[in-house]
Amino acid sequence: MHGSCFVSGFLGVGSAVRPGLERNILVRNRRPAVGSGRLRMVISDSKPAAAVSKPTQKPLSPCFSSGPCKKRPGYSLDALADAPLGRSHRSKLAIGKLREAYSLTKSLLGLPEGYQVAIVPASDTGAVEMAMWSMLGERPVDICHWESFGKGWYGDVVKELKIKEVNEITADYGQLPDLTKVNPAHDVVFTWNGTTSGVRVPAGAEWISDDREGVTICDATSGIFAMSLPWHKLDVVTYSWQKVLGGEAAHGMIILSPKAIERLESYTPPWPMPKIFRMTKKGKLDEKLFDGSVINTVSMMCVEDYLDALKWVQDLGGVPGVEAKSMGNLKVLEDFVGSRSWIHFLAADEKIRSNTSVCLTLDLPKEKVKEMEKLLEAENVALDINSYRDAPPGLRIWCGATVEAEDLQALCEWLEYTYEQVK
Ligand SMILES: Cc1ncc(COP(=O)(O)O)c(C=O)c1O
């Protein structure tokens, strides 16, 4: 199992200790907690230990990566047994699967009447670029960015599309820019949740005018399903399956509002349009693309995996259930960070703090943080939790709902221990 995040079984022991209590503790006796479904340590805090001792429990899954993210609890390849492997993606069977994926997506997300959904090539990047290449250039563009991916979209618009009238509305890592600077007469491109800074747009997005003239293009890849989105404010929403859903990478999703469709049908950009970006035919929306007929071949295995993930969302109570679980996960880290002086949220303001990609800074030099990561990896406690290469040095811990709170609690004990080891 080392290095793998595939199965979450009942092989280890989970933590019953609340962060904040586990400092200076003495392990007294051990017995399984009743009715927990997992073995837990029972720990008394009666006598302070001299130093932080090596934790005796590990997370059941060491997968805390911010993408691809951990698979849902209980996942196994059996979930893919119904995938129409070896069949054409244009067969009746496969189109039925694609249609099922679209209708489940629409109902779980609560999309308003008239919004369309399609699977598109090249993951979230493909979906964002397809939207920008297809719609921008008609009017000035406001680009709001506060981390690496949003900055990339800004670069696309300025350097690749070479749009002249572009307003850059930006802030440093850990901050949100002043979004009220967005002009409702302009198009706007922004990221709902900045995966590399752990900063999200607060729910509601009141800064987007209901009477806007421009279209809003929102990269929601690490927020959607874990944060409720104000659909009437959003004209294009993109994501991939590999974040909150714990699905597979490589396929993108695009959601279009009636306003976005109107733009596609009324505007033809001056630049060449690659086949994989084309959403219209003879000046009209290619409706087949939103009804199970994809631009190029999709993996029906990945589609089956997406269907499995959507059914897991349904079982958790839909987006509100997924969001609640993710908020509970964030709370585990908040309790821990709140009771330690050496670890901090990059997003100090909790109103803009992500409940999925949680970014932390430590009072340690970069090399020491690296050392901590190596120790955590060597113990198979936490994998891939290094901060993104452009972000301030620190840790990034996924708190989406595929991760379990008990595993985060166990991880916190190891953070404490490894910090003490390297400092
Ligand atoms: C905010 C954001 N946008 C875009 C991407 C790129 O996603 P993909 O690799 O699915 O294209 C990522 C990946 O982490 C992301 O976090």
If asked whether residues 309 and 322 sit together in one domain, one would say: no
142 touches ligand 1 (CB under 6 Å): no
If asked whether residues 271 and 325 sit together in one domain, one would say: no
What pLDDT is attached to residue 51? 83
What pLDDT is attached to residue 31? 30
What pLDDT is attached to residue 5? 62
Q: Tell me, yes or no, whether 390 lies in a domain.
A: yes
40 vs 207, residue with greater confidence: 207
11 vs 103, residue with greater confidence: 103
Residue 123 has pLDDT above 80, yes or no: yes
- Average pLDDT over the chain reads 91
Which atom of ligand 1 is nearest the CA belonging to 125?
11
Residue 43 has pLDDT above 70, yes or no: no
> Rounded to an integer, what distance in angstroms lies between the CA atom of residue 45 and that of residue 78?
43
Which atom of ligand 1 is nearest the CA belonging to 195?
16
Report the nearest-CA residue for atom 7 of ligand 1: 124
What pLDDT is attached to residue 138? 98
What's the rounded mean pLDDT across residues 145-159?
Answer: 98
Report the nearest-CA residue for atom 2 of ligand 1: 149
Q: Tell me, yes or no, whether 7 lies in a domain.
A: no
Q: How far is the CA of 12 from the centre of ligand 1 (A)?
A: 32
Domain that holds residue 134: 88-313
What pLDDT is attached to residue 4? 60
What pLDDT is attached to residue 59? 98
Last residue of some domain: 286, 313, 340? 313
If asked whether residues 53 and 112 sit together in one domain, one would say: no
Q: Say if CB 200 and CB 354 are below 8 A apart.
A: yes
pLDDT digits (tens, 9 = 90+) for 131-150: 999 999 999 999 999 999 99
If asked whether residues 96 and 66 sit together in one domain, one would say: no
Residue 29 has pLDDT above 60, yes or no: no
Q: Tell me, yes or no, whether 5 lies in a domain.
A: no
What pLDDT is attached to residue 36? 37
Q: How far is the CA of 68 from the centre of ligand 1 (A)?
A: 10
Which of 119, 120, 125, 156 to probe ligand 1 with, by most ligand atoms within 8 A of CB? 125
Q: How far is the CA of 262 from the centre of ligand 1 (A)?
A: 27
Q: Tell me, yes or no, whether 4 lies in a domain.
A: no
If asked whether residues 339 and 352 sit together in one domain, one would say: yes
If asked whether residues 386 and 258 sit together in one domain, one would say: no
If asked whether residues 334 and 232 sit together in one domain, one would say: no
Residue 258 has pLDDT above 70, yes or no: yes
If asked whether residues 306 and 201 sit together in one domain, one would say: yes
If asked whether residues 59 and 109 sit together in one domain, one would say: no
Q: How far is the CA of 47 from the centre of ligand 1 (A)?
A: 47
Pairing of the two strands 141-145 and 166-170: parallel
Domain count of the fold of the chain: 2
124 touches ligand 1 (CB under 6 Å): yes
* Nearest residue to 416 via CA among 55, 166, 167, 93: 55
Q: Tell me, yes or no, whether 327 lies in a domain.
A: yes
25 vs 190, residue with greater confidence: 190
Share of the chain above pLDDT 70, in %: 88
Q: Which two tokens stand for residue 118?
A: 């399609």
Q: Tell me, yes or no, whether 3 lies in a domain.
A: no
What's the rounded mean pLDDT across residues 308-313?
Answer: 98
pLDDT digits (tens, 9 = 90+) for 328-364: 999 999 999 999 999 999 999 999 999 999 999 999 9
What pLDDT is attached to residue 363? 98
What's the rounded mean pLDDT across residues 96-120?
Answer: 98
Region for residue 334 given its phi and psi (left: phi exceeds 0; alpha: psi -120 to 50; beta: otherwise): alpha
Report the nearest-CA residue for atom 3 of ligand 1: 149
156 touches ligand 1 (CB under 6 Å): no
If asked whether residues 105 and 141 sit together in one domain, one would say: yes
pLDDT digits (tens, 9 = 90+) for 216-229: 999 999 999 999 99
What pLDDT is attached to residue 30? 30
Question: Which CATH number does the domain housing residue 375 bear?
Answer: 3.90.1150.10
219 touches ligand 1 (CB under 6 Å): yes
222 touches ligand 1 (CB under 6 Å): yes
What single string gives the DSSP state of each residue in 125-177? HHHHHHHHHHHTTSS-EEEEESSHHHHHHHHIIIIIS--SSEEEEE--TT---
Last residue of some domain: 291, 313, 335? 313
If asked whether residues 34 and 131 sit together in one domain, one would say: no
Q: Give the type of residue at 24.
A: N
191 touches ligand 1 (CB under 6 Å): yes
Q: Tell me, yes or no, whether 2 lies in a domain.
A: no
Which atom of ligand 1 is nearest the CA belonging to 357?
16
Last residue of some domain: 254, 286, 313? 313
- Helix 300-315 and helix 92-109: axis angle, to 10°? 30
Which residues fall within 8 angstroms of residue 277, CB to CB, at 6 or more apart? 129, 130, 133, 134
If asked whether residues 96 and 150 sit together in one domain, one would say: yes
